[in-house]
Structure 1
Amino acid sequence: MAYKNLRHFIETLEQAGELVRIKTYVDPKLEIAEITDRISKSPDGGKALLFENTGTDFPVLINSMGSYRRMCLALGVRELDDIAGEIEALFKMLSKPKESILDKLSMLPKLGQFASWMPKVTGGKGACQEVVMTNPDLTKLPVLTCWPKDGGPFITLPVIHTKDPLTGTRNVGMYRMQVFEKDMTGMHWHKHKVSAKHFSEYKKLNKKMPVAVVLGGDPVYTYSATAPLPENVDEYMLAGFLRKKKVELVKCITQPEIEVPADADFVIEGYVDPVEDLIWEGPFGDHTGYYSLADWYPRFHVTAITHRKDAVYPSTIVGIPPQEDAWIGKATERIFLAPIKMTLVPEIVDMEMPVEGVFHNLVISQIRKDYPGQAQKVMNAMWGAGQMMFNKILVVTDDGVKINNYLQLAQYVFKNLNPATDIYLSQGPMDVLDHSCSKMGFGGKMCIDGTRKYEEELDTVFQSVPSPATLDTAAIMQQFPEIKGINARLLQQDISCILVAVEKNRPFHIRELNEQLYTLPAVAGVKMILYVEHTVDVNDLASALWRFCNNLDPKRDSFVVRQPTSEGKYLGGIGMDGTLKNKVLDNFERDWPNIIVAADDTIKKVDEKWSALGLGEFLPSPSLKYKHQIYGEEAVVQQ
């Protein structure tokens, strides 16, 4: 389904009972984000919110794709798997041998469909250019400041258009933009992104780089900008395929080399000068649930702002999951399963990216296993595929279990796992937002082979014993006073894993504690121990796993043990250190960011105006749960 504009999408959401209009004034500085955080963490992602009184001429739409149903509405489908099925059918049709003239003629209608999806540049002006700001001023837009330690207000849903200066190939991506002045922002493109490569080419040519930023329009544009497409695939071809209608583009007014969707709500035109000094950008409360630290990035100078007469400013917030971006990630997981299966990993059956893993941190891959070593083959293929190169923890299982049933999945994986032989540690490129890496953008990776094993994959020097059904956690904590909490309940569910909260007080503390715990007879047979810092509630499993995944560098922080048995064999176990790291105890040289929580005064203001918002039963701030876990008022732990 093609939406005519963002207002059309808003009407569809409202008719479906998926939108709440908020007429009370709400400040774009911190208050909108705090309200949205409460709603997005309510069951099924709550509702989309339209803030109609923002102190500017423009309303703010937020959380518009923040549930499975709204994500499907945005993409015009009943189920996200419908898109994957359609892509798979297209792949099969195109790859099928064409033996006769009739076979070839039968392809023509589909080829015509391909042509109808290709973007088209039209003459004249678009609706996105109905109003032209003669003096471009970003302060006239309701740009959100989301979190108290953010470096300033950030544009959070910018669809950023650049072109390769040598080939003219367009790229459409999404990178946050911190507003510094009325006509200048940062441009936070990472070194791995295509726009950063374009910037590098302009730098070689010593030329200013034209850039255009689109806000709004068909929500498919926003999704396509986040999609992990190959560099040579136009994001607007994907958008055309998803909406079943080509995207019509118009040339920018002051940057005519760049074309933008004619039906967008806002277009911010400008340039980046490669010879200009970089600007110190950030911090920013990011999708990991932690502040991403400040760093040097290019300056974007605004030369024009145009917009529709009825423009709506779209935005989102990211932070401690779940948030709206979890559902955007779910769409990518389902849509791109078919291309991965058809081109890279033919044995793949399904894929899952749990919310607690915040996209890259944790990916579960289910395969059809036919031979020994196949999990390792899949590991290498996936870590070499596009944005999957940023994956930190990859769990591979086979078709003996349903991977979206996390309890059954964990039981199956641990049943098949020897932690001393079936966990593979490597290194490679990482997301620059991953704060656990000792070096920015480069760190450890882990693959857990939870598939059933062929005889060739078994190591006979290891003995298998049942894991204990219970642990005397009080006795263990009395023996090791630095342990402030133990969650051993997974053992009762036939999952050989415990979580331990530790107050570290010496170098190599977790490694030594892990060795000591595994010498206890009571711990014999426990395959995995996950360590988090003492402020984490290990009985809140989802929260503890989120903290653990963020803070772990698998290669640096994993400690395999081989405990000898009386039979002359070994018991395998592994401990993994998901605590925060610092220079004194861990020789960690980088700053460590804080988790994201709202300010006390913002929470109080929203509490006081809640009854006037029309959002139903009062929802307390999710930040209250984490207030005791921050490290003080600074956004980072200083080394």
Structure 2
Amino acid sequence: MAKISCSLREFLQVLEEEEMLLRVTEEVSPEPDIGAAGRAAANSAWKPAVYFEKIKGYTTPVVTNVHGSWKSHALMLGMDKDTPVKEQFFELNRRWDKYPVEPVIVKREEAPCKENIITENIDLFRVLSPYRINDQDGGFFLSKAAVVTGDPECPEDLHKLNVGTYRIQIKDRDRVGIQALAFHDIAVQLEKAESLNQSLPVAIALGNAPLVTFMASTPIAYDQSEYAFAGALQNGKPVEIVQADTCEHLYVPASSEIILEGYVIPRVRKVEGPFGEFPGSYSGCRLQCEIQITRITHRNQPIFENLYLGIPWTEIDYLMALNTSVPLYKQLKESMPEVVAVNAMYTHGMGVIISTKCRYGGYGKGVAFRLLSTPHGMPYSKIVIVVDEYVDPFNLEQVMWAVTTRVRPDKDVAVIPNCPGMPLDPSSVPAGMHSKMIIDATTPVPPEPNPREVELLKPPASTEKWEKFINEFSKGGTVSGMSEM
């Protein structure tokens, strides 16, 4: 296991060493060049992170597509860049059980994010290098921030300190809008603050350690700590955090590139959007709350990290793939130990594939119903495919084999109307309401009748040995004889 990067800068160095970073040294225009490069990187077979050293009109360099491939995802975990996706899933699952690895609070003078302070004449355009990600975005958006907020009723409880990723629109030099949907943790805290007629203190961290960013976009329980999970996923190495300057109960990642501090203006909603969102379409304009920025701290020569969103797959799909899959797997496994793996990589879990052993007739549908009752599955998931335990849910060829050979549409496909939905899903009408579809592609077990049993083909003997031989040969290795395998 290689070293795990605990800052964005460390990770960029790893990506460069592994030939997964493209440096652009000539000056580029912020639009359309940066967004176009993010789309192009996602389209390429290489899928590198792209680092822009010179942006016309700005002084801060920009990096995008940092999480934008399975190779980068593996390197984030300190694994070999060619590690298969399924192995990454089970490694994440193993580290998940290390939770909690509590963060370490460092002194202010030890935190790189505090090297520079701005309290007067705040101007986001002088510190950041904002740009429209897609052509019809309603403005400049921060698409990869870790937003830190606390629970107004128990501000000292670090496990109720929320670190989440929400889209943020720059509205002015010192003011931003933020999308806080009803099922987001920040919306719970905002409702509590506004019921007390209080502002909600906020710290926005930009340019974070890759696993901090990873956890900020992970659906976990309200009283679970993203920092303590990031420490677990860093294989037991605690995240270093530091107290925010303007609110003593907020703690930010010490290694972040840029920290914006301020507060949500209570009971104020203004138009935000449109924005090109993760389903690959523009969302409409909505009334959203706004944040007044009162202080900025940043590292020397900070780096502005942002991500491209578009028709999948782009960076956000890699970022939200396994960190959506593992929590859902854990929640299902608690009450249904027969579940083998969960693939919720498609559009943030709007599509989910579950492999499970069926204990009794109808069990596959029961597993799907359990998924649709989880905190994330209830609003997000709308198409659930359940397959047998020997089907790899991360192998779409196997999944489609199961669907095409196991499903009888008249009995194995169920549609449940009038359920919670994801408002950003363009097929959600009205926004936030949807139907759910379950496709049970498992083999019937008693008491469900199975009138036509078949015997499955098994791999020939020595298949595993030959797989190892072929894999070694494909990597450029030299194998003199099969006796060595």
What TM-score do the two structures reach when normalised by structure 1?
Answer: 0.65
1 CA distance for matches of 2:152 and 2:31? Answer: 38
Find the counterpart in structure 1 of residue 168 from structure 2. Answer: 177
Q: Answer whether contact 1:382 1:388 (CA < 8 A) is retained.
A: yes
1:216-257 C-alpha deviation (Å, 9 max, x unpaired)? 131111111011111111000011112232122222222333
Find the counterpart in structure 2 of residue 135 from structure 1. Answer: 121
Find the counterpart in structure 2 of residue 273 from structure 1. Answer: 265
2 CA distance for matches of 1:205 and 1:23? Answer: 51
Find the counterpart in structure 2 of residue 381 from structure 1. Answer: 370
Q: Answer whether contact 2:386 2:439 (CA < 8 A) is retained.
A: yes
Find the counterpart in structure 1 of residue 188 from structure 2. Answer: 197
Q: Is 1:166 matched up with 2:157?
A: no
1:372-418 C-alpha deviation (Å, 9 max, x unpaired)? 01012101111111212220100111124333332332232222222
1 CA distance for matches of 2:251 and 2:401? Answer: 52
How far does residue 39 in structure 1 lie from its aligned partner after superposition? 1.6
Find the counterpart in structure 2 of residue 120 from structure 1. Answer: 104
How far does residue 144 in structure 1 lie from its aligned partner after superposition? 2.4
Change (3 A) 1:456 1:284: same
Change (3 A) 1:187 1:337: closer
Give the share of equivalent positions with the same residue, in percent: 28
Find the counterpart in structure 1 of residue 471 from structure 2. Answer: none
Find the counterpart in structure 2 of residue 219 from structure 1. Answer: 210
1:24-80 C-alpha deviation (Å, 9 max, x unpaired)? 222223321012201211125x21100011132211111111111111112323446
Q: Find the residue that maps to 1:454 and give its secondary structure.
A: coil
Q: Answer whether contact 2:92 2:326 (CA < 8 A) is retained.
A: no
Q: Is 1:325 matched up with 2:316?
A: yes
How far does residue 343 in structure 1 lie from its aligned partner after superposition? 1.7
| Letter paired with 2:144 | L
How far does residue 120 in structure 1 lie from its aligned partner after superposition? 2.7
2 CA distance for matches of 1:220 and 1:242? Answer: 7
Find the counterpart in structure 1 of residue 466 from structure 2. Answer: none
The correspondence for 2:139, drawn from 152, 156, 162, is 152
The correspondence for 1:35, drawn from 15, 34, 37, is 37
2 CA distance for matches of 1:139 and 1:344? Answer: 50
2 CA distance for matches of 1:449 and 1:343? Answer: 21
2 CA distance for matches of 1:403 and 1:204? Answer: 44
How far does residue 135 in structure 1 lie from its aligned partner after superposition? 2.2
**In angstroms, what is the RMSD of aligned CA positions?**
2.2
Change (3 A) 1:450 1:4: closer
Q: Answer whether contact 1:88 1:342 (CA < 8 A) is retained.
A: no
Find the counterpart in structure 2 of residue 439 from structure 1. Answer: 430
| Letter paired with 2:121 | N
Find the counterpart in structure 2 of residue 428 from structure 1. Answer: 419
How far does residue 122 in structure 1 lie from its aligned partner after superposition? 3.0
Q: Answer whether contact 1:29 1:153 (CA < 8 A) is retained.
A: no
Pairing of 1:47-446 with structure 2 (within 5 A): 47-55=48-56, 56-78=58-80, 79=83, 81=87, 84-85=90-91, 87-88=93-94, 117-125=101-109, 126-133=111-118, 134-140=120-126, 141-168=128-155, 169-243=160-234, 244-275=236-267, 277-333=268-324, 335-336=326-327, 339-340=330-331, 342-353=333-344, 357-389=346-378, 390-426=380-416, 427-446=418-437
Find the counterpart in structure 2 of residue 583 from structure 1. Answer: none
2 CA distance for matches of 1:321 and 1:214? Answer: 26
How far does residue 432 in structure 1 lie from its aligned partner after superposition? 1.6
What TM-score do the two structures reach when normalised by structure 2?
Answer: 0.85
1 CA distance for matches of 2:421 and 2:439? Answer: 18
From the CA coordinates, give the structure whose radius of gyration is larger.
1
How far does residue 88 in structure 1 lie from its aligned partner after superposition? 4.5
Pairing of 1:6-17 with structure 2 (within 5 A): 6-17=8-19
2 CA distance for matches of 1:351 and 1:124? Answer: 41
| Letter paired with 2:108 | G
Change (3 A) 1:89 1:77: closer
1:549-600 C-alpha deviation (Å, 9 max, x unpaired)? xxxxxxxxxxxxxxxxxxxxxxxxxxxxxxxxxxxxxxxxxxxxxxxxxxxx
How far does residue 335 in structure 1 lie from its aligned partner after superposition? 3.9
2 CA distance for matches of 1:86 and 1:74? Answer: 11
2 CA distance for matches of 1:198 and 1:9? Answer: 32
Pairing of 1:531-542 with structure 2 (within 5 A): none
Q: Answer whether contact 2:214 2:320 (CA < 8 A) is retained.
A: no
